[in-house]
Amino acid sequence: MIPVIEPRHDLTPAEIAEVEDRLYGHNSAATGRYDGRTMGFAIRDETGRMVAITAGYTWAGVSEIKQMWVDQAYRGRGYGRALLQAMIEEARRRGVARIWVASYDFQAPGMYEKAGFQRMAVFEGWPTGHVNVVLCMTLAPA
Protein backbone atom coordinates (compact mmCIF):
# COMPACT_ATOMS: atom_id res chain seq x y z
CA MET A 1 0.00 0.00 0.00
CA ILE A 2 1.26 3.44 -0.88
CA PRO A 3 0.38 5.87 1.93
CA VAL A 4 -1.68 8.88 0.97
CA ILE A 5 -1.08 11.83 3.23
CA GLU A 6 -4.27 13.77 3.74
CA PRO A 7 -3.98 17.35 5.05
CA ARG A 8 -6.13 17.61 8.21
CA HIS A 9 -5.77 20.99 9.84
CA ASP A 10 -9.25 20.78 11.34
CA LEU A 11 -9.17 17.63 13.46
CA THR A 12 -12.26 17.22 15.62
CA PRO A 13 -12.06 16.77 19.39
CA ALA A 14 -13.17 13.15 18.82
CA GLU A 15 -10.29 12.51 16.40
CA ILE A 16 -7.77 14.05 18.79
CA ALA A 17 -9.22 11.94 21.63
CA GLU A 18 -8.76 8.83 19.45
CA VAL A 19 -5.09 9.68 18.93
CA GLU A 20 -4.69 10.25 22.69
CA ASP A 21 -6.32 6.86 23.38
CA ARG A 22 -3.97 5.12 20.95
CA LEU A 23 -0.91 6.82 22.46
CA TYR A 24 -2.07 5.90 25.96
CA GLY A 25 -2.50 2.27 24.89
CA HIS A 26 0.98 2.14 23.39
CA ASN A 27 2.62 3.93 26.32
CA SER A 28 0.82 1.78 28.89
CA ALA A 29 1.79 -1.43 27.12
CA ALA A 30 5.42 -0.27 27.00
CA THR A 31 5.52 0.67 30.71
CA GLY A 32 2.98 -1.70 32.24
CA ARG A 33 1.24 1.32 33.80
CA TYR A 34 -2.49 1.57 33.13
CA ASP A 35 -3.33 4.07 35.86
CA GLY A 36 -3.90 7.18 33.73
CA ARG A 37 -6.63 9.51 34.95
CA THR A 38 -7.63 13.02 34.04
CA MET A 39 -8.03 15.67 36.70
CA GLY A 40 -9.31 19.20 36.71
CA PHE A 41 -10.98 21.92 38.73
CA ALA A 42 -13.16 24.89 37.82
CA ILE A 43 -14.36 28.07 39.48
CA ARG A 44 -17.70 29.56 38.45
CA ASP A 45 -19.21 32.95 39.10
CA GLU A 46 -22.61 33.48 40.72
CA THR A 47 -24.37 32.91 37.37
CA GLY A 48 -22.63 29.58 36.82
CA ARG A 49 -20.27 30.85 34.11
CA MET A 50 -16.83 29.29 34.30
CA VAL A 51 -14.27 32.00 35.14
CA ALA A 52 -11.24 29.82 35.91
CA ILE A 53 -10.23 26.26 35.08
CA THR A 54 -7.30 23.90 35.21
CA ALA A 55 -6.92 20.49 33.60
CA GLY A 56 -4.30 17.79 33.45
CA TYR A 57 -3.71 14.16 34.25
CA THR A 58 -1.84 11.66 36.37
CA TRP A 59 -0.14 8.57 34.99
CA ALA A 60 2.72 6.34 36.04
CA GLY A 61 3.60 8.33 39.14
CA VAL A 62 3.70 11.72 37.43
CA SER A 63 1.24 14.50 36.72
CA GLU A 64 1.10 17.18 34.08
CA ILE A 65 -0.89 20.37 34.24
CA LYS A 66 -1.91 20.88 30.62
CA GLN A 67 -4.13 23.95 30.87
CA MET A 68 -4.88 26.70 33.34
CA TRP A 69 -6.96 29.76 32.62
CA VAL A 70 -8.36 32.59 34.72
CA ASP A 71 -10.68 35.06 33.00
CA GLN A 72 -9.08 38.49 32.75
CA ALA A 73 -11.77 40.10 34.96
CA TYR A 74 -11.00 37.63 37.78
CA ARG A 75 -7.20 37.77 37.80
CA GLY A 76 -5.39 38.94 40.90
CA ARG A 77 -7.91 37.31 43.26
CA GLY A 78 -5.90 34.15 43.97
CA TYR A 79 -7.97 31.92 41.70
CA GLY A 80 -4.92 30.60 39.84
CA ARG A 81 -3.13 29.80 43.10
CA ALA A 82 -6.25 28.08 44.46
CA LEU A 83 -6.59 25.94 41.33
CA LEU A 84 -2.88 25.10 41.41
CA GLN A 85 -3.13 24.07 45.05
CA ALA A 86 -6.13 21.85 44.25
CA MET A 87 -4.12 20.14 41.49
CA ILE A 88 -1.14 19.63 43.81
CA GLU A 89 -3.33 18.17 46.55
CA GLU A 90 -5.11 15.81 44.15
CA ALA A 91 -1.80 14.68 42.61
CA ARG A 92 -0.45 14.03 46.10
CA ARG A 93 -3.60 12.06 46.98
CA ARG A 94 -3.01 9.92 43.89
CA GLY A 95 0.57 9.15 44.94
CA VAL A 96 2.29 11.26 42.30
CA ALA A 97 6.02 11.90 42.71
CA ARG A 98 6.37 14.85 40.29
CA ILE A 99 4.13 17.44 38.69
CA TRP A 100 5.17 19.02 35.40
CA VAL A 101 3.91 22.20 33.73
CA ALA A 102 4.98 24.43 30.86
CA SER A 103 4.33 28.17 30.93
CA TYR A 104 5.30 30.92 28.53
CA ASP A 105 7.06 33.96 29.98
CA PHE A 106 3.89 36.02 29.37
CA GLN A 107 1.75 33.55 31.30
CA ALA A 108 2.54 32.53 34.88
CA PRO A 109 5.93 30.86 35.43
CA GLY A 110 6.40 33.05 38.51
CA MET A 111 3.20 31.71 40.09
CA TYR A 112 4.47 28.15 39.71
CA GLU A 113 7.87 29.06 41.13
CA LYS A 114 6.25 30.75 44.16
CA ALA A 115 4.33 27.51 44.72
CA GLY A 116 7.58 25.50 44.80
CA PHE A 117 8.06 24.46 41.18
CA GLN A 118 11.61 24.61 39.82
CA ARG A 119 12.66 25.57 36.31
CA MET A 120 13.90 22.52 34.48
CA ALA A 121 14.27 23.98 30.99
CA VAL A 122 13.90 27.32 29.24
CA PHE A 123 13.31 27.36 25.49
CA GLU A 124 14.22 30.69 23.89
CA GLY A 125 12.29 31.74 20.81
CA TRP A 126 9.21 29.62 21.57
CA PRO A 127 7.34 31.64 20.35
CA THR A 128 9.58 34.15 18.64
CA GLY A 129 10.56 36.88 21.07
CA HIS A 130 9.51 34.87 24.12
CA VAL A 131 10.47 31.80 26.13
CA ASN A 132 8.66 28.64 27.13
CA VAL A 133 9.54 27.51 30.65
CA VAL A 134 9.18 23.88 31.78
CA LEU A 135 8.80 23.53 35.54
CA CYS A 136 8.60 20.60 37.93
CA MET A 137 7.55 20.09 41.53
CA THR A 138 8.71 17.02 43.42
CA LEU A 139 6.18 15.89 46.01
CA ALA A 140 7.18 14.32 49.28
CA PRO A 141 5.73 10.82 49.78
CA ALA A 142 2.38 10.87 51.56
For residue 109, say if its preceding peptide bond is cis, omega within 30 degrees of 0: no
d(C-alpha 24, C-alpha 36), whole Å: 8
Each residue's pLDDT tens digit, 103-135? 999 999 999 999 999 999 999 999 999 999 999
Residue 39: strand, helix, or coil:
strand
Q: What domains appear along the chain, each with residue ranges and CATH number?
A: 35-138 (3.40.630.30)
Chain centroid to Cα 121, Å, comes to 16
Each residue's pLDDT tens digit, 34-89? 999 999 999 999 999 999 999 999 999 999 999 999 999 999 999 999 999 999 99
pTM over 0.85: yes
Rounded to a whole number of angstroms, the distance between the first and last alpha carbons of the chain is 53
